[in-house]
Amino acid sequence: MMRILLTNDDGIRAKGLSALYEAIKEIAEVIVVAPETEQSAVGHAITLSDPLRVKELKNNDGPFGYAVNGTPADCVKIAIKAIMEMPPNLIISGINLGPNMGTDVIYSGTISAATEGTILGITSFAISLDTFKDPDFSYAASFAKKLALVVMEKGLPCGTSLNVNIPAVPEDKIRGVGITRQGKSRFVEDFDKRVDPRNHVYYWQTGKVITEDVDVGADRVAVNNNMVSITPIQCDLTDYKSLEELKREMKGL
């Protein structure tokens, strides 16, 4: 039987993780190792200067998983190196509340958990739902289950994980699945300045997403067209197109 590790960055009590667990336990032996509290936008941070504490959690069916006072990447590392007796066949990170597209990929703890799995040599994907309000995770959970079966049968290229984004529409409105590239959408920040009752200034970060792509080959455009977006991603950030040019320009340094 397959062993699948589930994690996220919204915290172990997140509804998206619970929906994913209910779907995946139908096809595999499941272990959940997730942050004790929300760790959104922590990127690929790992904990070095503090101890990691692990708490076992249970639900009505018995053991549910392990809560870790660390980051999503911490959770993957400690699950594989310390908690699990045998490594998983697959790691799924999610279901995230909110999309992870464009430059979100750099900041996302959800993506980083899947990336960490790939670094450790384990097939991995991340999955997110494109909404922050009134989420219905049922289709995303069902899709994750189907994708898990396909990925376990077919495999993924070495060093590659998948970033999956699900439109927040009813299943009958989904127009298909697109294999997409990371788009050029980005979050433009603004800071709302406020004053607390003790006359101390504080700020809430706000802003909006700007999409610079127009073709359906980009993740955000595909999702806006009610298509599931699947983007293959890698850890290698080298700009290979610039290598030779830089060699010429930096000659003599």
CA 202 from chain centre, in angstroms, equals 29
For residue 165, what pLDDT is reported?
98
pLDDT of residue 208: 79
Model confidence pTM above 0.75: yes
Cα torsion angle, 178, 179, 181, 187, sign: positive
Please report, as a single letter, which amino acid is at residue 181.
Answer: R
- Per DSSP, the three-state class of 107 is helix
Which segments of 40-159 are extended strands (E)? 54-59, 62-68, 90-97, 124-129
Mean pLDDT value across the chain: 93
The CA–CA distances, whole Å, from 120 to 73, 195, 235 equal 11, 46, 12
| Helix or strand (DSSP H, E) at 234 | strand 228-234
pLDDT at residue 213 greater than cutoff 80 = no
Q: What percent of the chain has pLDDT over 70?
A: 98
Distance CA 73, CA 66 (A): 14
Mean pLDDT of 94-101: 95
DSSP string for residues in 33-70? EEESS--TT-TT----SS---EEEEEETTEEEEEEESS
Total number of residues shown for the chain:
253
pLDDT of residue 61: 67
pLDDT at position 63 over 70: no
Helix-, strand-, coil-residue percentages of the chain, each rounded to 5: 30, 30, 40
pLDDT exceeding 90 applies to what percent of the chain?
83
Pick the CATH number of 3-182+214-249 from 3.40.1210.10, 3.90.1150.10, 3.40.190.10, 3.30.910.10: 3.40.1210.10
In this prediction, residue 11 carries a pLDDT of: 95
pLDDT at 106 over 70: yes
Give the per-residue pLDDT at 129. 98
Mind listing the pLDDT tens digit for each residue in 14-56? Answer: 999 999 999 999 999 999 999 999 998 899 999 999 999 999 9
Determine how β-strand 3-7 pairs with β-strand 90-97: parallel
User: What's the confidence (pLDDT) of residue 41?
Assistant: 85
Q: What is the pLDDT of residues 139-179, one digit of tens each?
A: 999 999 999 999 999 999 999 999 999 999 999 999 999 99
Domain boundaries, the chain: 3-182+214-249
